[in-house]
Amino acid sequence: MKIIVLNCGSSSIKYQLFELPSQRVLAKGLVDKIGLKGSMIKHWRDDQTEVKL
């Protein structure tokens, strides 16, 4: 089973995707400065490869 956990703030969203029951993190990321200049999206795969958009 896979579970996604979201933390939504006023100008950011953070997330992690877990595989259960091992609790392995499959992916994680954040969307920062939503609606502001300089906003960004960062995403990490389970092998810790970072992808910036």
- Whole-number pLDDT of residue 47: 77
**pLDDT per residue over 11-41, tens digit each?**
999 999 999 999 999 999 999 999 999 999 9
Q: What is the pTM of this model?
A: 0.80
Domain residue spans in the chain? 2-52
Parallel/antiparallel/unpaired status of strands 50-52 and 2-8? unpaired
Characterise 46 by phi-psi region: left (phi > 0), alpha (psi -120 to 50), beta (else).
alpha
**pLDDT per residue over 4-19, tens digit each?**
999 999 999 999 999 9
